[in-house]
Amino acid sequence: MGIRIWFFASAMLVTSAFAWPAFAQTPGAPTGKPDMRESCPGLVAIDTPRLTPAALRLGALGQGQVRITFIGHATFLIESPKLVRIATDYNDYVRPPILPDIITMNHAHSTHFTSHPDPAIKFVLRGWRDDGKPAAHDVSFQDVRVRSVATNIRDWGGGTERHGNSIFIFEVGSLCVAHLGHLHHTLTKQQLEDIGRVDVVMVPVDGSYTLDIDGMIEVLQALKAPLMIPMHYFSTFGLTRFLDRVGGQFPVEYNETPSVVLSRATLPAAPKFLVLPGH
Protein backbone atom coordinates (compact mmCIF):
# COMPACT_ATOMS: atom_id res chain seq x y z
CA MET A 1 0.00 0.00 0.00
CA GLY A 2 2.87 2.39 0.80
CA ILE A 3 4.36 1.88 -2.67
CA ARG A 4 1.02 2.57 -4.33
CA ILE A 5 0.61 5.77 -2.33
CA TRP A 6 4.16 6.78 -3.28
CA PHE A 7 3.41 6.21 -6.96
CA PHE A 8 0.22 8.27 -6.73
CA ALA A 9 1.97 11.12 -4.99
CA SER A 10 4.78 11.05 -7.52
CA ALA A 11 2.28 11.07 -10.35
CA MET A 12 0.56 14.14 -8.94
CA LEU A 13 3.86 15.98 -8.66
CA VAL A 14 4.87 15.38 -12.26
CA THR A 15 1.50 15.85 -13.97
CA SER A 16 2.30 19.33 -15.20
CA ALA A 17 5.68 18.24 -16.52
CA PHE A 18 4.05 15.75 -18.89
CA ALA A 19 0.98 17.59 -20.06
CA TRP A 20 2.24 18.31 -23.60
CA PRO A 21 1.26 15.99 -26.45
CA ALA A 22 3.37 13.12 -27.80
CA PHE A 23 5.84 14.21 -30.48
CA ALA A 24 6.99 12.86 -33.81
CA GLN A 25 10.43 11.30 -33.97
CA THR A 26 12.89 9.80 -36.38
CA PRO A 27 15.41 7.76 -34.41
CA GLY A 28 18.31 5.94 -35.94
CA ALA A 29 17.88 2.18 -36.17
CA PRO A 30 19.72 -0.10 -33.74
CA THR A 31 22.62 -2.00 -35.19
CA GLY A 32 21.34 -5.47 -34.28
CA LYS A 33 19.64 -7.53 -36.97
CA PRO A 34 16.59 -9.29 -35.49
CA ASP A 35 15.33 -12.62 -36.77
CA MET A 36 11.98 -12.60 -35.03
CA ARG A 37 9.86 -13.76 -37.95
CA GLU A 38 11.84 -16.99 -38.09
CA SER A 39 12.41 -17.58 -34.39
CA CYS A 40 9.05 -16.50 -32.96
CA PRO A 41 6.00 -17.86 -34.79
CA GLY A 42 4.06 -17.21 -31.63
CA LEU A 43 1.14 -19.15 -30.17
CA VAL A 44 0.01 -18.43 -26.62
CA ALA A 45 -1.38 -20.65 -23.85
CA ILE A 46 -2.26 -19.65 -20.30
CA ASP A 47 -1.91 -21.23 -16.86
CA THR A 48 -2.03 -19.52 -13.44
CA PRO A 49 0.59 -20.48 -10.83
CA ARG A 50 0.56 -18.70 -7.48
CA LEU A 51 3.03 -15.89 -6.82
CA THR A 52 5.09 -17.06 -3.84
CA PRO A 53 8.86 -17.27 -3.43
CA ALA A 54 8.62 -21.07 -3.11
CA ALA A 55 6.72 -21.36 -6.39
CA LEU A 56 9.27 -19.13 -8.08
CA ARG A 57 12.08 -21.40 -6.87
CA LEU A 58 10.43 -24.74 -7.53
CA GLY A 59 7.87 -24.28 -10.26
CA ALA A 60 9.26 -26.20 -13.22
CA LEU A 61 8.45 -25.02 -16.73
CA GLY A 62 8.11 -27.30 -19.71
CA GLN A 63 10.08 -26.87 -22.88
CA GLY A 64 8.82 -23.86 -24.79
CA GLN A 65 7.06 -22.29 -21.81
CA VAL A 66 7.63 -18.95 -20.10
CA ARG A 67 6.28 -17.66 -16.79
CA ILE A 68 5.42 -13.96 -16.51
CA THR A 69 4.67 -12.41 -13.12
CA PHE A 70 3.51 -8.83 -12.68
CA ILE A 71 5.48 -7.37 -9.77
CA GLY A 72 4.02 -3.87 -10.09
CA HIS A 73 4.21 -0.55 -11.96
CA ALA A 74 6.33 -1.53 -15.00
CA THR A 75 8.24 -4.42 -13.44
CA PHE A 76 7.63 -8.01 -14.51
CA LEU A 77 9.55 -11.14 -13.63
CA ILE A 78 10.05 -13.34 -16.71
CA GLU A 79 11.28 -16.92 -16.20
CA SER A 80 12.56 -19.36 -18.81
CA PRO A 81 12.46 -23.19 -18.83
CA LYS A 82 16.09 -23.17 -17.59
CA LEU A 83 15.00 -20.77 -14.82
CA VAL A 84 16.77 -17.74 -16.17
CA ARG A 85 15.08 -14.84 -14.39
CA ILE A 86 14.60 -11.42 -15.99
CA ALA A 87 13.21 -8.32 -14.26
CA THR A 88 11.97 -5.44 -16.42
CA ASP A 89 12.30 -1.75 -15.50
CA TYR A 90 14.24 -2.76 -12.39
CA ASN A 91 14.26 -0.01 -9.75
CA ASP A 92 14.68 0.76 -6.06
CA TYR A 93 10.96 0.69 -5.20
CA VAL A 94 9.38 -2.34 -6.86
CA ARG A 95 11.45 -5.52 -7.10
CA PRO A 96 10.78 -9.26 -7.44
CA PRO A 97 11.30 -11.41 -4.34
CA ILE A 98 14.28 -13.20 -5.89
CA LEU A 99 17.47 -11.91 -7.49
CA PRO A 100 17.19 -11.89 -11.29
CA ASP A 101 19.92 -12.94 -13.70
CA ILE A 102 19.10 -10.16 -16.15
CA ILE A 103 17.60 -6.73 -15.54
CA THR A 104 16.42 -4.12 -18.03
CA MET A 105 15.93 -0.45 -17.19
CA ASN A 106 14.70 2.84 -18.63
CA HIS A 107 15.40 6.27 -17.18
CA ALA A 108 12.34 8.46 -17.75
CA HIS A 109 11.74 8.30 -13.97
CA SER A 110 13.42 6.73 -10.96
CA THR A 111 10.68 4.09 -10.78
CA HIS A 112 12.14 2.57 -13.95
CA PHE A 113 15.83 2.26 -13.07
CA THR A 114 18.35 2.04 -10.26
CA SER A 115 21.82 3.51 -10.08
CA HIS A 116 22.90 0.77 -7.69
CA PRO A 117 21.94 -2.69 -9.01
CA ASP A 118 23.06 -5.69 -6.99
CA PRO A 119 26.56 -6.66 -8.23
CA ALA A 120 25.43 -10.30 -8.29
CA ILE A 121 23.11 -9.59 -11.24
CA LYS A 122 24.78 -11.07 -14.31
CA PHE A 123 23.47 -8.67 -16.97
CA VAL A 124 22.45 -5.06 -16.33
CA LEU A 125 20.88 -3.69 -19.52
CA ARG A 126 20.25 0.05 -19.46
CA GLY A 127 17.80 1.30 -22.07
CA TRP A 128 19.80 4.45 -22.74
CA ARG A 129 23.39 5.53 -23.25
CA ASP A 130 25.11 8.59 -21.83
CA ASP A 131 26.39 9.56 -25.28
CA GLY A 132 22.84 9.73 -26.69
CA LYS A 133 23.26 6.80 -29.08
CA PRO A 134 20.80 3.85 -29.14
CA ALA A 135 21.43 1.25 -26.45
CA ALA A 136 21.10 -1.53 -29.08
CA HIS A 137 21.49 -4.51 -26.74
CA ASP A 138 21.61 -8.06 -28.08
CA VAL A 139 22.47 -10.51 -25.31
CA SER A 140 22.06 -14.29 -25.14
CA PHE A 141 22.25 -16.29 -21.91
CA GLN A 142 21.33 -19.98 -21.69
CA ASP A 143 17.84 -20.25 -23.26
CA VAL A 144 17.14 -16.49 -23.35
CA ARG A 145 17.92 -13.74 -25.85
CA VAL A 146 17.30 -10.06 -25.06
CA ARG A 147 17.30 -7.31 -27.69
CA SER A 148 16.45 -3.62 -27.52
CA VAL A 149 14.98 -1.08 -29.92
CA ALA A 150 15.49 2.58 -29.01
CA THR A 151 12.75 5.22 -28.86
CA ASN A 152 12.77 8.87 -27.79
CA ILE A 153 11.38 10.39 -24.61
CA ARG A 154 10.31 13.84 -23.45
CA ASP A 155 12.88 15.47 -21.23
CA TRP A 156 12.14 17.51 -18.12
CA GLY A 157 12.50 20.77 -20.05
CA GLY A 158 9.82 19.88 -22.58
CA GLY A 159 12.25 18.86 -25.32
CA THR A 160 13.20 15.52 -26.82
CA GLU A 161 15.81 13.13 -25.51
CA ARG A 162 16.80 10.93 -28.41
CA HIS A 163 17.06 7.21 -27.67
CA GLY A 164 16.17 7.72 -23.99
CA ASN A 165 13.84 4.70 -23.86
CA SER A 166 14.25 1.15 -25.10
CA ILE A 167 11.65 -1.39 -26.04
CA PHE A 168 13.11 -4.70 -24.87
CA ILE A 169 12.30 -7.90 -26.73
CA PHE A 170 12.79 -11.21 -24.91
CA GLU A 171 13.05 -14.49 -26.78
CA VAL A 172 12.14 -16.99 -24.06
CA GLY A 173 10.91 -20.55 -24.46
CA SER A 174 9.06 -20.51 -27.77
CA LEU A 175 7.78 -16.95 -27.43
CA CYS A 176 8.80 -13.38 -28.16
CA VAL A 177 7.80 -10.97 -25.41
CA ALA A 178 8.07 -7.19 -25.82
CA HIS A 179 8.12 -4.62 -23.00
CA LEU A 180 7.35 -1.12 -24.31
CA GLY A 181 9.03 0.64 -21.39
CA HIS A 182 8.21 4.33 -20.98
CA LEU A 183 7.03 4.77 -24.56
CA HIS A 184 6.21 8.38 -25.50
CA HIS A 185 5.38 8.19 -29.21
CA THR A 186 4.06 5.94 -31.94
CA LEU A 187 6.52 3.72 -33.77
CA THR A 188 8.16 4.24 -37.13
CA LYS A 189 8.17 1.58 -39.83
CA GLN A 190 11.86 0.97 -39.12
CA GLN A 191 11.22 0.47 -35.41
CA LEU A 192 8.41 -1.98 -36.13
CA GLU A 193 10.69 -3.92 -38.47
CA ASP A 194 13.45 -3.96 -35.85
CA ILE A 195 11.04 -5.21 -33.20
CA GLY A 196 9.68 -7.91 -35.50
CA ARG A 197 6.83 -10.20 -34.61
CA VAL A 198 5.89 -10.42 -30.95
CA ASP A 199 3.55 -12.80 -29.14
CA VAL A 200 3.12 -10.93 -25.87
CA VAL A 201 3.44 -7.19 -25.27
CA MET A 202 3.53 -5.33 -21.94
CA VAL A 203 1.69 -2.06 -22.49
CA PRO A 204 1.85 1.18 -20.44
CA VAL A 205 -1.77 2.31 -20.22
CA ASP A 206 -1.68 5.46 -18.06
CA GLY A 207 -2.51 7.62 -21.09
CA SER A 208 -0.54 10.71 -20.00
CA TYR A 209 2.95 10.17 -18.59
CA THR A 210 3.67 7.78 -21.44
CA LEU A 211 1.82 7.81 -24.76
CA ASP A 212 -1.80 8.99 -24.95
CA ILE A 213 -4.49 6.31 -25.31
CA ASP A 214 -5.16 6.85 -29.02
CA GLY A 215 -1.45 6.66 -29.78
CA MET A 216 -1.03 3.49 -27.71
CA ILE A 217 -3.92 1.84 -29.53
CA GLU A 218 -2.18 2.71 -32.80
CA VAL A 219 1.00 1.03 -31.54
CA LEU A 220 -0.89 -2.11 -30.54
CA GLN A 221 -2.66 -2.29 -33.88
CA ALA A 222 0.73 -2.10 -35.60
CA LEU A 223 2.36 -4.75 -33.39
CA LYS A 224 -0.53 -7.23 -33.76
CA ALA A 225 0.51 -9.23 -30.68
CA PRO A 226 -1.93 -12.02 -29.73
CA LEU A 227 -1.66 -11.18 -26.02
CA MET A 228 -1.39 -7.74 -24.40
CA ILE A 229 -0.73 -7.19 -20.69
CA PRO A 230 -1.43 -3.72 -19.23
CA MET A 231 1.04 -2.04 -16.87
CA HIS A 232 2.03 1.43 -15.64
CA TYR A 233 -1.29 2.64 -14.32
CA PHE A 234 -1.80 4.37 -11.01
CA SER A 235 -5.30 3.34 -10.04
CA THR A 236 -8.16 1.05 -10.98
CA PHE A 237 -9.75 4.10 -12.58
CA GLY A 238 -6.77 4.56 -14.91
CA LEU A 239 -6.80 0.91 -15.94
CA THR A 240 -10.56 0.89 -16.47
CA ARG A 241 -10.43 4.08 -18.53
CA PHE A 242 -7.97 2.47 -20.93
CA LEU A 243 -9.76 -0.87 -21.12
CA ASP A 244 -13.10 0.84 -21.74
CA ARG A 245 -11.53 2.50 -24.77
CA VAL A 246 -10.11 -0.72 -26.20
CA GLY A 247 -12.94 -3.01 -25.14
CA GLY A 248 -14.71 -2.67 -28.47
CA GLN A 249 -11.59 -3.77 -30.35
CA PHE A 250 -10.00 -6.35 -28.04
CA PRO A 251 -11.50 -8.83 -25.57
CA VAL A 252 -10.37 -8.33 -21.97
CA GLU A 253 -9.69 -11.19 -19.55
CA TYR A 254 -8.83 -10.85 -15.85
CA ASN A 255 -6.38 -13.32 -14.31
CA GLU A 256 -6.86 -14.40 -10.70
CA THR A 257 -3.16 -14.27 -9.83
CA PRO A 258 -0.19 -12.08 -10.86
CA SER A 259 1.48 -15.01 -12.66
CA VAL A 260 0.72 -16.68 -15.97
CA VAL A 261 2.47 -19.47 -17.88
CA LEU A 262 2.56 -19.07 -21.66
CA SER A 263 3.57 -21.33 -24.53
CA ARG A 264 2.91 -21.96 -28.22
CA ALA A 265 0.15 -24.44 -27.49
CA THR A 266 -2.82 -22.23 -28.34
CA LEU A 267 -3.55 -18.87 -29.91
CA PRO A 268 -6.45 -16.60 -28.88
CA ALA A 269 -9.16 -16.41 -31.49
CA ALA A 270 -8.41 -12.68 -31.61
CA PRO A 271 -5.79 -10.46 -29.95
CA LYS A 272 -6.82 -9.84 -26.36
CA PHE A 273 -5.82 -8.14 -23.13
CA LEU A 274 -4.91 -10.16 -20.06
CA VAL A 275 -5.01 -8.16 -16.83
CA LEU A 276 -2.70 -9.44 -14.09
CA PRO A 277 -3.66 -8.14 -10.62
CA GLY A 278 -1.62 -5.40 -8.95
CA HIS A 279 -0.40 -2.08 -10.29
In this structure, which topology does domain 41-275 adopt according to CATH? Metallo-beta-lactamase; Chain A (3.60.15)
**Domain-by-domain residue ranges, the chain?**
41-275
DSSP string, the chain: -HHHHHHHHHHHHHTGGG-SPP----PPPPS----HHHH-------B-----HHHHHH----TT-EEEEEEETTEEEEE-TT--EEESS--SSS--SS--SEEEE--SSGGG--SS--TT-SEEEES--TTSS----EEEETTEEEEEEEEEEE-TTSSEEEEEEEEEEEEETTEEEEE--S--SPPPHHHHHHH---SEEEEE--SSSSS-HHHHHHHHHHH--SEEEEE--SSHHHHHHHHHHHTTTS-EEE-SSSEEEE-SS---SS-EEEEPS--
pTM of the model: 0.79
pLDDT tens track of the chain, all 279 residues? 443 334 333 433 333 333 333 333 333 333 343 444 444 433 232 333 333 444 444 478 988 899 999 999 899 999 999 999 999 999 888 899 999 999 999 876 777 768 889 999 999 999 888 888 988 999 999 999 999 999 988 776 777 778 888 999 999 988 999 999 989 889 999 999 999 999 999 999 987 788 899 999 999 999 999 999 999 888 899 999 999 999 888 999 999 999 999 987 865 778 999 999 976
